[in-house]
Structure 1
């Protein structure tokens, strides 16, 4: 009697845990769909006016939106595969992992460059037009992609040398752990991530203190614009911090897995929402809503020109 009751309780517990996970999956799908719709809307507005795609900060803004869209789609694909325990060929998994890893690094690197752009605009206004031209923006995009791809190139080169040819034809659940064949590979990956974290934090802090110095010395309208630029850098710093916490998530999750499976599932869900989804919703807030020009263009597009007509009448 007791054994049957225990089995019944265990089954109820299993069903309740599956129900909780199902609810979480639905919530994640709703959030991702919402963020993708907002990002696609902002990208559409970006290409509507020449001013946006000829100005460096808006070009970088669009770059973060595009990389965030790719990251959200592919990470959601991996999440669904993991939830339903679906297997894919390791060659396809390798491509997906490389794309996700690249996009996850493009966003924080671009945010760092955007902070430098604000530093040049406020602290070196006479040289801003020269240093932050459209041509310079295109060169910076190439550099951003090169810097972002470097860790993947190192990590995957080691994997290609270590893995056998039969490994690529196998089918398995897709995760980054599948490509760590030696313990020192994980240590190297962690070291590179922490090095990037340190460099980006230094750049953000440098930009912040330089703009702070100018803000204290400014007056009138210049003071107002300078403090607005300073708040933008602070928001970039907060967004960058959330993005870079993602680098430590695998270490935390591995430690939780050794303690308890449900604790691991809860921590992984929290990390996904907090450090993957949350930073991706800050870009639209920083430039989509706070920026007057982009906000006006967005309202005009959403309201199908009604906002512009009302403004002209006033």
Structure 2
């Protein structure tokens, strides 16, 4: 009888995991479709790809799409216990590590763009040109690559040649040989967290000061920019909490495997999928010009209020 109960418990657990995997596929597919439509809209109107804030928006969308695809591939490989050679896992890790940081760093850059637009309007055209935007994208990717370079440099110094030709289930934990490596990764993540938080708070305080002093149409525009910064801050907070998830999960794994699965699933939905569905809300729906363009293309040109320029 006890044996049958145990089998039923295992069966229910497997069924629960199956439902979770299917739900993740549905959510990822929906987010990818929405983001793809936003990206297409971005490229269909020249005003968007010549304006810094929309260029940075498109950068976050592309980053989110790539990151969602890679994490979903790893989820499926892990669920079905599919092993791959370690050199391929290294490539996957590099892409995921870099684009884990690209979205929060891009959000921070977008916040600074709003700060310049509202607090330094006379210099906005000079500082936020299309050329500056392209340079900024390179800087964003450079800053996002630093944690990956540090961790992989230590990994390459520690791993033997035989390690690269092994077949294993790919995961981030494979690249951590020593506990101090995990502490170093944690320190780097917390340093990024601190710098980004300071940037958000600084921008918020400066925009708030301008908002209180503004009047009429300027006041309305400034408060709208302030709300955008607040949404960026919330989205950034979710993205940055994601950087702490591996350390929480590794601690829980030592105690209870099923609890580890539950927490990892919760973290994936809350801190990976959720922040990446807020970008369409912030710019796809709240931004008036982008919203009208979305509506125009969604209705195949029958919506005439904001025809593409």
User: Is TM-score (shorter-chain normalized) higher than 0.5?
Assistant: yes
Match of 2:87 in 1: 91
Aligned counterparts of 2:224 and 2:208: Cα–Cα separation in 1:
11
TM-score (norm 2): 0.98
Counterpart check, 1:282 vs 2:260:
no
CA displacement at 1:259 relative to structure 2? 2.0
Where does residue 77 of structure 1 map in the other structure?
73
Q: Give structure 1 stretches of 5+ with no counterpart.
A: none
Distance across 2 between alignment mates of 1:177 and 1:30: 27
Query: Which residues in structure 2 correspond to 1:154-233 (within 5 Å)?
Result: 154-233=150-229
Q: 3-state DSSP class of the match of 2:99? A: helix
- Could you say which residue in structure 2 is the equivalent of 1:119? 115
Equivalents in 2 of 1:287, 1:176: separation in Å?
Answer: 32
Determine helix, strand or coil for the equivalent of 1:85.
Answer: coil
**In 2, Cα distance between equivalents of 1:258 and 1:150:** 29
Matched, 1:41 2:37: yes
Give the aligned partner of residue 291 of structure 1: 287
- 2: CA distance, partners of 1:84 / 1:8: 25
Q: Report the RMSD for the aligned CA atoms in angstroms.
A: 1.0
- Contact 2:293 / 2:306 at 8 angstroms: preserved in 1? no
Q: How far apart, CA to CA, are the structure 1 residues paired with 2:253 and 2:152? A: 25
TM-score normalised by the chain length of structure 1: 0.96
Rounded Cα–Cα distance in structure 1 between residues aligned with 2:106 and 2:227:
17
Q: How many residues align?
A: 307
Provide the secondary structure at the position in 1 that maps to 2:300. coil
Kindly provide the CA deviation profile for residues 284-310 of structure 1, in whole angstroms up to 9, marking residues without a partner as x.
1000000010000000001000112x7
Deviation of 1:167 after TM superposition, in Å, equals 0.5
Q: Distance in 2 between matches of 1:269 and 1:12?
A: 22
Q: 1:138 matched to which residue of 2?
A: 134
Q: Distance in 2 between matches of 1:58 and 1:115?
A: 12
Runs of 4+ in 1 over 6 A off after TM superposition: none
Distance 2:306 2:9 in 1: 59
- Counterparts of 2:187 and 2:255, CA distance in 1: 25
| Alignment gaps of 5+ in structure 2 | none
